[in-house]
Each structure stands twice: as C-alpha cells, then as structure tokens.
Structure 1
Amino acid sequence: MSVVERLPRLEPGLTLRNVLLVVFYLWAILVLVGLLIYTLPFVVAVVLGLNVRGSADRLSAIPGISTDGGLSTAVVAGGYMLCLYGVILALAWATSAPAATQTTPPATTMPTASGSDATVAATTQTTPTTTTVASTVSTGSTTTTASSSISTQASTTDATATPTVATTAPPTTTTTATVARTTTAASTTGSERRTEWQVDVVRVVDGDTLEVAFPDGRVARVRLLGVDTPEVHTGTNPSEFEEIPESDAGRAWLRDWGHKASDFARTQLQSETVTIRTDSDADRRGAYGRLLVYVRHDGESFNEQLLAQGYARVYESSFSNREHYLALEATARSNDVGLWNYDPPTEITTTMTTTTSVATTGTGELVVVDVHADAAGNDHENENDEYTVFKNAGDRELSLAGWRVEDEADHVYYFPDITVAPGATVTLYTGSGTDSDTAVYWGSDAAIWNNGGDTIYVYDDSGNLEVEYTYGAQADQSPIPLVGLLLTVGVVLRRL
C-alpha cells in the first residue's frame, strides 16, 4: 500500500472528523510550501554546485556559474536566489504602501430659484476671515455648484441680480471649481530585448563557437546560428553529415575538418571586432545557454562562409535564413567543396602494442615522459595545469605535422607543423595558448585526461599508431588481486 493510500480520506456528509481532516491537510500544505520557499535557495545551490543533470552547464552563461559546478557556483547560485527573494519582498512592500490622497472640501450650495432663471448669490463678511463664495447655475433640472475659499476684508453687501431688470447690471456668474488631483505614474513597458551588438572576439573555441567581449565588458560564449562544424573536443558523428561514411575513416575525416574549421575561424575572427545578431524566428539561446547569433565580419556573413567553403553543414533548427543556408550547403556538396570532398584513405594495417612508451618512426622515437592529469583546484577551470610531456628519444629530428593525440573518450588533438629536436620535449597543454616548438595547446574548455587513469594514443600523419601509453588505475590492472580474491573465497567456502 502506498503512502497516499494510507492517508485518511473524507467521508460522506459534514462531520467533525471531515472538518478536522480538511484543517489538518490545509495546515500540512502550508507547512510544506513554507519549507519549500525557505529552503529553495539552498536546494538550488546544492543542485547547481553538484551540476545535477548538467544544470550548471545549462546556466553557465550566468556570471559566476561554472560549467563544472563546485562550491563557488553553489554560493553564487544561493546568492542569486536570496537576491531574488529580496526583490520580491521589496516589490510586495512597495505595492502595499498606502497611497497619498488629497481631500477636496465639500461644495456649499446656496438656495437657488427653481425654473430656468440664473440666480447669483454672494455673501461677504465684514471681518477678516475666510469667506465661501458659492455660485449656482440652475438650468432646467441640471444644477452645477462649485465652491472656493478666499480671504478678504470688505463691507457687507447683499446683491441680487435679476436678468429681466434693465437698470440692474447683469449678474456675473463666477464658477470656481475645486479639482482633486490624482497623481498616476506613467506606465512604461520594458523595451524589447536587444538583438544586435558589436563585440570583440576574445577566443575561438571551435569553428562554430566563440568567446566575445560585449561593450559593457561582459565576456560570454556565443554559438553561430544555423551552422554546425565537425566536433574537435568530443566524438564526431558521421550520420549528421550525409555522404560521409559511419566508419573510423569517416570520423577521422570529420575530425580533421573540424580542426580546419577551427583554424579558419581563428584566421578570420581571432581578436577582431564583429557584429552579432539574434534571429526573432529562432531560439535566442541554445541548450547550453549560449546566445545563438549570426556573425558579420568586414560586411560578410561568417555563417554563410562556413557553409559555402565546406566547413559546416546546416544545423537542424528553425531560423529565418534556413532556406538560403540549405542552398549554400547543397552547392558546396554538389561541387565537392571542403569536407564534402570525401576521399577514402587507403587501408593501412597497423600492429597494436600495449607499452608505456613507444614506437619508432623513420625519423625518431616519440615517448611519453610525464602526464599531469590532476590540475590544481577545479580541473575544468585550470586547463593549462593539465598537460602531457612528449620526448623525442631518437637521434634525429622528428616532425609532428599531421600527428594526432586521442584519449579513450575520443577527444582528438592534431599537432601543428612543429619539429622536435633529438632529446627535446614538447608539452601538450589542455587549455589555450600560443603554440611553439616546446609547448602546444589543445584549446579545450574542459579537462581531457581522467585523474583516475586513461590511455594516450598518438597516431602519425599516415594513421599508424605510434604511442599507446596507459597511466593511473588502468595501468595497475593485474589478474593477481582477482586470483587472490578467488582463492580467499574458496578457502572460506571449504571451511563452511
């Protein structure tokens, strides 16, 4: 029986038991709602701090929220919630404050004549005081009365003016109205959200993702709208690119073009000032909270350049330029431009070896001499303290142009055109920086190497496996502990 089924239920009729149950349930609901309200900031802080179901990833565009969660993210998230509560309380207080009112004194109505005649009566006091002058205009059944207070000192005068007497000056009817003013704040509607900015490109993450600095100094990550370049930080999926086979060769081809797209974006946009614009027909932000934008540089659409030059496909989503983008992709595919000019590589048979440092090529030997997988602090926020050191153990220079590094999660890095001297080392950092012959940078925005253990694979420019290096827990795997465990279990069973 479930908990709900165990709860007491109301019976037919109006009984004391039913009344008490209703009161109890209402009280319980109020208590639960109250607890939820007061604990919500702490719940949100824990959820984002632990990055539950990628919540921190999706909200990483908010300042202070890290893609990996952590204590700082939890504190910031809790602070945001408390600030939100403060705003709600301030609004509630402002709307409940009593409004200032202005009291209008009542009008004094003097005796008037009936009918359609206009009668004016004036009364003036002889002492300095406040005198009420009332004028009443009576026409038919409609009477208008107004009053005003003035301070005067004059002789007593009673004057009655009748419009039908020629020798009497015609009466002057003065109507002084007292108006009660009500001050109403002009209602203002929030201006529409901004849709276009001029920004500086701080960093090219990959072919379709940029980090930009807005005019207010805020730095945020934006995603190019309507285009998708092959992945370089995660595994590629050939099924997303028609005509590219779902094979190792197809994935390698797309990874290569993903790096080419990144290089093209860096060449065109790095440190440049560009115009970005959102599209009212598309989602304003993507799944990870990044602004979805068109990018224009030197008067040209960079999104369109990626499609026309074969660096990207059209992303499956709704946006106003979709038909034009599909036409650009179709033209690039029909002309075998860029990644669409797939050329299947020649089958190469390689011998897989499981060694910790490895293999000889025609010009030198590349070995792994150090792996620093556990960066100080949060690995995802200190990428350049995660690195791998390679050494040329041969006696001749070793060119790494076209060589690539992979891990077990299918992250891929391609070496630039560098040459390592005999006995020299080159360090591959996970983060970003300027490449040289002794230090190269993966350009990843998150950690690559697992702290608990991983395997480093290095392939030469022909696709031959040259290095397979296992470190950490995976390198310590041995059948001896398992055999010992089985023997122990066997001895215990025999004694039983």
Structure 2
Amino acid sequence: MGLTTSSISQNGGWKAYEFTKSIIEGKYVYIEFDETAGFTGYYGRLLAYVYLENGTDFTAMLVEGGYARVYVEGEFKKESYYLQLEEEAKRERRGLWSILATATPSGAISIEIVEVHYDAGGPDVDDRDMLNDEYIVIVNSGSISINLEGWRLRDEAGFTYTFSNVALDAGGTVTVHTGIGGDYDGHLHWNRKSPVWNNDHDTAYLYNAEGELVDKYSW
C-alpha cells in the first residue's frame, strides 16, 4: 500500500523486482492493514503494509531506495512518512530518480489537457446513457515521446484514473473516455458506470508519475 513501481518490462520495474526477490524470496513476511485506507483500493487490489520478520517496513525500503514511487489512492496513515522518504530518494538520486534526473532539453516535454467533453450527448441526453461521449483529450505538444505510465487524471471530487503503459508520441493525442470499452489507437476507457465530469463546473487535474501537477482545465 502507498506505492507503485514501473512495469517489470521497464528497467526501473525490473530493478524493483530483483531487489524484492533478493530481500523476501523464501522468507516470512507479514502484512498490516490500515483502517484509514480500508482493505482494497479503487481497482479492487488488496491494500496493506508489508513487514519483514524483524519488523522492518519493506514498503518503506522500496520507497527509500528509489525502487518505487509513493502512490496516493485515498488516505493512509503512513503517507507523510513515505513522502519524506521519497523526497530523500529524489535528493540523493537513488534508483528511478537517477534516471528521471537526466537532463531533458527545455521545451521537450509539454503535456496539456486541450478538451473536456463533459456534457455527453448534449443537453437533452442523460450523461449516464452515453458515458463514452464523456471524455478528456490530452496532447503532447513537446518534441519527445512520453510514457504516461503512472500519470493520473483527477476531478474535484477525487475520482482518479491512472494511466498504464501508454506512449504518447510528440504531437500525438490520447482520449480518455469515461465509460466501458477496450483501449485502441489513442482511445482509453476509464470503465466507469457513472459520469465523472460535472456539467455545471469542475476541474480536471493531470499529474505526472512523480505526483507533480502538470496541467489543469476548469470550466
């Protein structure tokens, strides 16, 4: 609970896997739930802290070593502690932060929200009947391709969509539809059964994988 890593097919994800294997393979561990966070997250995944036999917080070890990023999915008691460890890992450029710290040409990265189609089907249609006509469009107006894995979209109420392993080429767009469907050719689906974006007013927030606000779009 409280963290996320890159997929195992990526360099950072493989290093996290190797580190985890070296520490806990063949060993006893125990888990602890957090009553603040509940037992499962938005995607139905079990939420728990992992401890080694000697009581060491293994979740904290991953964050401190730069093998994982803090992932805030609702509230949890150790959030501030893990964020402190993450800041230390960033300063020391440990693990994935050594990769992310590599200099990038000015203006090379520019990801923006360019449209939010919040009134699905128009004023005479119930949004719930056309959820995939409620969508948000994001463009990469920079000069390099960006992998959006771990990036998040959020509304004012806190509903959050987390991107998986999606490459957004320079000049390309990606559209996130609210409803249910398969992902294809720059179109992703939140797979919700109810609307997200309020028709009268709302704000769409876009965060990168490090939790930094990249852009917002209000109406």
TM-score by length of 2: 0.56
Q: 1:393 to 1:333 in 2, by over 3 A?
A: closer
Task: Give the secondary-structure state (helix, strand or coil) at the position aligned to 1:458.
Answer: strand
Distance in 2 (alpha carbons) for counterparts of 1:409 and 1:387: 17
Where structure 1 has 5 or more consecutive residues not aligned to the other structure, the ranges are 1-241, 262-310, 314-331, 349-360, 472-496
Pick one of 134, 145, 149 that aligns with 1:397: 145
Unaligned runs of 5+ in 2: 1-31, 61-81, 88-102
Query: 1:402, 1:437 → 2: CA distance?
Result: 19
- Is the contact between residue 418 and residue 437 of structure 1 (CA under 8 Å) also seen in structure 2? no
Report the counterpart of residue 364 of structure 1 in structure 2: 109
State the partner residue of 1:259. Answer: 43
Residues 460, 437 of structure 1: alpha-carbon distance in 2 compared, 3 angstrom cutoff = farther
Q: Are 1:244 and 2:34 matched, yes or no? A: yes
Q: Which secondary structure state, in structure 1, belongs to the residue aligned with residue 174 of structure 2?
A: strand
* Largest Rg, 1 or 2: 1
C-alpha contact 2:51 2:58 (8 A) present in aligned 1: no
CA distance in 2 between partners of 1:404 and 1:366 (Å) = 12
CA distance in 2, matches of 1:335, 1:414: 29
What residue in structure 2 maps to residue 444 of structure 1?
A: 192
Deviation at residue 398 of structure 1 after TM alignment: 1.2
Secondary structure of the structure 2 residue equivalent to 1:259: coil
1:341 & 1:412 partners in 2: Cα distance?
26
For the residues of structure 2 that align with 1:463 and 1:245, how far apart are their CA atoms? 24
Between Structure 1 and Structure 2, which shows a larger proportion of helix residues? 1
Name 1:380's counterpart in structure 2. 128
Partner Cα separation in structure 2 for residue 438 and residue 380 of structure 1 = 23
Structure 1 equivalent of residue 5 of structure 2: none
Q: Percent identity?
A: 31
Alignment of 1:463-478 (within 5 A): 463-471=211-219
Deviations 1:182-218 (A, max 9, x none): xxxxxxxxxxxxxxxxxxxxxxxxxxxxxxxxxxxxx
Paired residues, number? 144
Q: How does 1:471-490 map to 2 (within 5 A)?
A: 471=219
Question: In structure 2, what is the equivalent of residue 417 of structure 1?
Answer: 165
Q: 2:202 — aligned with what?
A: 454
Distance 2:140 2:35 in 1: 35
- Residue deviations 1:260-294 (CA, integer Å, cap 9, x gap): 73xxxxxxxxxxxxxxxxxxxxxxxxxxxxxxxxx
Question: How far apart, CA to CA, are the structure 1 residues paired with 2:150 and 2:218?
Answer: 22
2:26 aligns with none
Give the superposition deviation at 1:244. 3.4
Q: Which amino acid aligns with 1:435?
A: D
Partner of 2:137, secondary structure, is: strand
**AA partner of residue 406 (structure 1):** R
Q: How does 1:242-391 map to 2 (within 5 A)?
A: 243-244=33-34, 257-259=41-43, 261=45, 311=46, 342-343=59-60, 344-345=82-83, 346=85, 348=87, 362=104, 364-376=109-121, 377-391=125-139
8 Å CA contact 2:33, 2:47 repeated in 1: no
The answer for the alignment partner of 1:433 in structure 2 is 181
Compute the displacement of 1:342 (Å). Answer: 4.7
Picking from 362, 383, 407, the partner of 2:155 is 407
| Distance change >3 Å, CA 396–CA 445, structure 1 → 2 | same
Q: Distance in 1 between matches of 2:211 and 2:185?
A: 22
Query: What is the CA-CA distance between 1:335 and the residue it aligns to?
Result: 6.9
Q: CA RMSD in A?
A: 3.4
Matching residue's letter, 1:375: A
